[in-house]
């Protein structure tokens, strides 16, 4: 993919996209080549050597499994048993938790679904190779002609150059950094001070994420409070901020980069009745409404500890249920829920 790095005029940012290396810096590319049903693997890192695994890679239900100990440790991963059926695999800033016999796992705290569960065979723990490897930022390639699997961790490689482009017959010089598709850099979303509506120097945000590249995530209200973004922000499928301006840049899991105008709708019903008078529509997510407006806004934990408003009606939802309704007062945002805020106290949603 090609990333254009532009000069940031503002001293601080409300949101930014960072690219970070999952497995940390390396001096050379590292590869491990496995062959099905053969416990001897080739390890390539400057030189080449053979390593014998305790169990040969094998296939169950169309999925390749490898022994828990051996392959991932060649890339510097640490393996720790937490319970008799729960294992933690950690590599720099990536963490995977697996449960034996279960098809759910957590990757950096987020729940993921596996196509096949880890298992114990003849006293050895076997794990699905592709899922765990890719969760740790490794690239897995299957070669059908040789019946082998290539696992690779590549160095961060980027080419910086100055290019000239024509815009309305005016020459513009841009600093461009090209990141190759086989780089192990992975994008993540950073928020100023960790919440929507705050600002922080780009260098500070990059340092917290261990980033090597940073992109201004969008325009925001730089000259008035609160410093909220204009654009829509999403992270791992979770809606962080709903704005009404401009296009969004999406970094896909397969390495593709897309730019589209994103239209997000948030709506619901009350009393289980999907009909006029009981439907509601959310104007914004994590954005401060005007005091005298009729806006309905949803606030999630990305807003911070509280909604920060002393007007309107706040409907607090925890674990899918309404647990509190408050008027004209600030309320806490539950970590397992959200707050629906009615700027107009006479909004029919109250009933």
pLDDT digits over 8-24, tens only? 323 345 555 655 544 44
pLDDT digits over 59-97, tens only? 988 899 999 988 888 888 889 998 889 999 988 668 999
pLDDT at 281 (0 to 100): 86
Domains of the chain by residue range: 2-23+158-260, 30-153, 267-350
pLDDT at 215 (0 to 100): 77
At residue 337 the predicted structure's pLDDT band, cuts being 50, 70 and 90, is very high
pLDDT at 330 (0 to 100): 97
pLDDT at 24 (0 to 100): 42
The mean of the pLDDT values for the chain is 81
Assess whether pLDDT exceeds 60 at residue 3.
no
Q: Report long-range pairs for 52-55 (Cβ below 8 Å, ≥24 apart).
A: 54/124, 55/121, 55/122, 55/124, 55/126
What is the percent of the chain with per-residue pLDDT over 70, rounded to a whole number? 83
pLDDT at 154 (0 to 100): 57
pLDDT at 327 (0 to 100): 94
Higher pLDDT, 211 or 172: 172
pLDDT at 245 (0 to 100): 72
At residue 38 the predicted structure's pLDDT band, cuts being 50, 70 and 90, is very high
Averaging pLDDT over each range in 168-182, 258-272, 299-313, which range is the top one? 299-313
Domain 30-153 has CATH 3.30.70.3420: no
Of 340, 335, 264, 267, nearest in space to 299 by CA: 340
Q: Report long-range pairs for 67-70 (Cβ below 8 Å, ≥24 apart).
A: 67/124, 67/125, 67/126, 67/127, 68/118, 68/124, 68/125, 68/126, 68/127, 69/125, 70/41
Q: Nearest 5°: CA angle at 162, between 160 and 163?
A: 125
At residue 238 the predicted structure's pLDDT band, cuts being 50, 70 and 90, is confident
Output the six-digit token pair for 180: 């190759």
Assess whether pLDDT exceeds 90 at residue 286.
yes
Assess whether pLDDT exceeds 60 at residue 29.
no
Higher pLDDT, 153 or 300: 300
Averaging pLDDT over each range in 173-177, 179-183, 227-231, 285-289, which range is the top one? 285-289
pLDDT at 26 (0 to 100): 39
pLDDT digits over 121-142, tens only? 988 999 999 999 888 878 788 8
DSSP-assigned letter for residue 207: H
Query: What is the Cα–Cα distance from 45 to 155, expressed in whole angstroms?
Result: 11
pLDDT at 243 (0 to 100): 77
Query: What is the Cα–Cα distance from 314 to 296, expressed in whole angstroms?
Result: 10
Output phi, psi for 348, to 5 deg.
Answer: -65, -15
């Amino acid at each position: 993919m090609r990333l254009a790095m532009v000069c940031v005029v503002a001293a601080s940012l409300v949101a930014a996209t960072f690219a970070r290396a999952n497995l940390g810096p390396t001096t050379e590319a590292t590869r491990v080549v496995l062959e099905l049903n053969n416990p001897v693997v080739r390890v390539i890192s400057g030189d080449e050597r053979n390593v014998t695994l305790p169990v040969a890679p094998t296939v169950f239900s169309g999925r390749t499994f490898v022994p828990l100990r051996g392959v991932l440790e060649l890339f510097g991963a640490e393996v720790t048993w937490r319970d008799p059926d729960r294992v933690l695999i950690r590599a720099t800033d990536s963490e995977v938790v697996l449960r034996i016999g279960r098809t759910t796992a957590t990757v950096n705290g987020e729940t993921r679904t596996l196509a096949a569960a880890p298992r114990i065979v003849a006293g050895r723990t076997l794990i699905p190779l592709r899922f765990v490897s890719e969760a740790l930022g490794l690239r897995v390639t299957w070669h059908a002609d040789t019946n082998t699997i290539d696992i690779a961790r590549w160095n961060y490689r980027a080419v910086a150059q100055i290019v000239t482009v024509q815009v309305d017959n005016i020459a513009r010089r841009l600093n461009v950094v090209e990141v190759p598709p086989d780089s192990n850099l992975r994008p993540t979303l950073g928020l100023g001070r960790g919440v929507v509506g705050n600002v922080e120097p780009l260098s500070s945000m990059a340092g917290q994420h261990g980033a090597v590249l940073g992109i201004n995530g969008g325009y925001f209200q730089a000259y008035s409070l609160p410093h909220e973004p204009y654009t829509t922000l999403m992270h791992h499928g979770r809606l962080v901020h709903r704005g009404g301006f401009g296009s969004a840049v999406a970094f896909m899991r397969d390495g593709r980069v897309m730019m589209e105008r994103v239209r997000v709708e948030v709506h619901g019903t009350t009393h289980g009745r999907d009909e006029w008078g009981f439907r509601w529509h959310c104007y914004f997510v994590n954005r401060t409404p005007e005091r005298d407006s009729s806006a309905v806004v949803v606030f999630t934990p990305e807003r911070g500890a509280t909604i920060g408003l002393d007007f309107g009606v706040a409907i607090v939802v925890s674990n899918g249920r309404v647990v509190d309704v408050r008027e004209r007062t600030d309320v806490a945002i539950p970590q397992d829920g959200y707050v629906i805020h009615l700027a107009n106290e006479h909004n029919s949603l109250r009933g």
